[in-house]
Amino acid sequence: MLLWGIGIEARLIHLQVFRHADLVDRAERQRSRSIATHPKRGEILDREGRVLAYSVDADTVVSVPSEVDDPVGTTRQLCDVLECDAAQRDRIQTRLGQDRPFAYIQRRVSVDAARRIRDLELEGIGFLTESRRFYPNKELAAHVLGFVGIDNQGLHGLEASHDEQVRGRPGRVLVQTDARNRAFSRVESPPTAGVSLELTIDKFIQYIAERELRAAVLEHDAAGGSVIVMDPSTGEILALANEPTFNPNSFSLSTPDSRRNRATQDIYEPGSTFKIVTASAALEEGVFAPSEMIDVSPGVIRFGSHRISDMRNYGELSFADVIVKSSNVGASKIGVTLGPERVGRYVARFGFGQLASRDFAGQSRGIVYDWSQLPDSELASVAIGYNISVTPLQMAAAMSAVANGGELIEPRLVRAQISGNQRLEVAPHVIRRVISPDTASTLTRMLEDVVSRGTARNAQVEGYTAAGKTGTAEKIIGGQYAATGHNVASFVGFVPSTRPALTILVVIDDVVKFGGAVAGPPFQRIAEASLRHLGVPPNVDALPPILVASDEGSGPRVRPVSMLVPTPVSAAPAPAPDGSRMPDLRGLSVRSAIWIATQAGLTTATSGRGFVTTQTPQPGDPVSAGQQVTLRLDRASALAAQVER
């Protein structure tokens, strides 16, 4: 008995002293299970605050298998609601038959399915609240937004590149069970929502870009294409479209080809659009003057077995007309005269061979070869946009550098990050100056001639001067250039050319015709609709604003006569006052108000959404040319404002 007692005491001391911490930890693991709950992702908004992506609460069906007495019967009732196939039925039955404190049955079920399962009141079956990503505009800006996987992780687009900020911090659910594995306690720590992103994308311009791109691809039976619309002075991307596209709400039903962001991931030989780099280098280095003559006869130039030709024999052309008529022979001679060091330096200055933006995941750098190793034949090819591969985004950024006076600005998608009441603005990032303002101005005049009398007449925009360059490059298929009829057609330009508001790039893949005929018309239609939407005044034959005086109400009102004003305006017999007066914009839509203010020579700043309710300066106040008008917009007060007027 003494030895027995000593043995018991020794065993107790061993368990309760030496193994105490280990046994307590094992007991805690056996009776408690911590389950991570996913936070609600932040919203993604366009530049006007319109929602492009948001998360909604959804019920996830879970179980405590140890409390399920009849796994077969419970599985049958669940699958009657969830419409399971054979594999799902077997998986659910297996999970319900295990001796575990927790198991997922089905993630994020519909509202109707959750209600019907609750009505069954099944033992051991419960619910967790998770968030589900929803894209209300379906395919709109799908490649920009991307999509989210089942575990709330961004897998593509902005959802992936800004996943850490947008997804938030997860919560925890602690489930405790007794010795028979029956749950008796549940403690939930809620997750923290993620940061919302306000994008530079304009929903309306994005829709226009996608519509016109789809129409061009269908018209020319093309393999696909891309469109980029950006503000050249800030780098803000107003629209980025790709064709084919997909619906991020059901991304699993789409193909990898449709999900690929061609504008940032695909590379192509740019063809003649790259001549803007060749021309910029020649002008900046003082190697050629715009009026200097270049002999391009007989319309072909040879470098050994390598042959470069023009559409026809132009004879002798000025440097400017080499760009206007897109002479390959002339551009090749310019490139060879510049030499590999200078050509390579300007290719790097314009951002080719480098990542274009931090806002895109998985983007390509393009292909740029070692310039010191290039013979004249390959250098001549680079000068006309061959023997180098770029992304559409790089090409749009390069043209924007010409448009804004010579600065390469990083393209960006995110305008601000919003967390609660805090708003963190993302400022434009100037990467470097690539050419001088004088060079940019000289090149702009040449690019204007490309549109007015050169290869891009189809890109002319009524009421505006446009500048740009066409490009046609034969596709490489199977390691060699394809036969006639497989071209990459493109056009990149900016409008108005005097004070550029938009840079627009159109790339159409695998077509028979040339860049001006294929990509010029979409550029024209996108530019026309976008300029009208933004309220950019015409710079060609623009009509002066017409103002009339009115005695209505207290104090004078000066109203512009315009076809765009949605309310009737009648002229009073009183004469127009001396000097300029502030028009009455109250009750108008933002588009009409901006158009009227612009016609009066004023600039505008808006806040809110809806119709104009208040304005500064007040109606009838004296104003001067270029003065800023502040407009406050509101939906709720729109009807009252209209009635008052």
| pLDDT top residue among 479 and 83 | 83
Residue with tokens 């001391």: 13
- In terms of DSSP H, where are the helices of 109-151? 111-120, 142-145
Of 279, 497, 503, 226, nearest in space to 385 by CA? 279
| pLDDT top residue among 132 and 245 | 245
What percent of the chain is modeled with pLDDT above 70? 88
Predicted confidence at residue 478, as pLDDT, reads: 74
Q: What is the CA radius of gyration of the chain?
A: 33
Distance from C-alpha of 243 to C-alpha of 222, rounded to nearest angstrom: 10
Q: In this predicted model, what pLDDT tens digit does every residue of 212-257 receive, in sequence order?
A: 999 999 999 999 999 999 999 999 999 999 999 999 998 988 999 9
Residue 34 designated active-site:
no
Band of pLDDT at residue 421, cut at 50, 70 and 90: confident
Predicted confidence at residue 404, as pLDDT, reads: 95
Band of pLDDT at residue 186, cut at 50, 70 and 90: low
Distance from C-alpha of 645 to C-alpha of 429, rounded to nearest angstrom: 44
Name the catalytic one among 226, 272, 377, 389: 272
Sheet holding 32-37, edge to edge: 32-37, 171-177, 183-189
Distance from C-alpha of 129 to C-alpha of 119, rounded to nearest angstrom: 17
Q: In this predicted model, what pLDDT tens digit does every residue of 318-346 receive, in sequence order?
A: 999 999 999 999 999 999 999 999 999 99
pLDDT at 545 over 90: no
Q: In this predicted model, what pLDDT tens digit does every residue of 267-315 receive, in sequence order?
A: 999 999 999 999 999 999 999 999 999 999 999 999 888 899 998 999 9
Cβ–Cβ < 8 Å for 484, 193:
no
Q: In this predicted model, what pLDDT tens digit does every residue of 499-514 receive, in sequence order?
A: 999 999 999 999 988 8
Q: In this predicted model, what pLDDT tens digit does every residue of 578-603 receive, in sequence order?
A: 457 888 888 777 777 777 887 777 87
pLDDT at 37 over 80: no
What does the block give as tokens for 104? 């997922």
| DSSP string computed for 320-344 | HHHHHTT-HHHHHHHHHHH-HHHHH
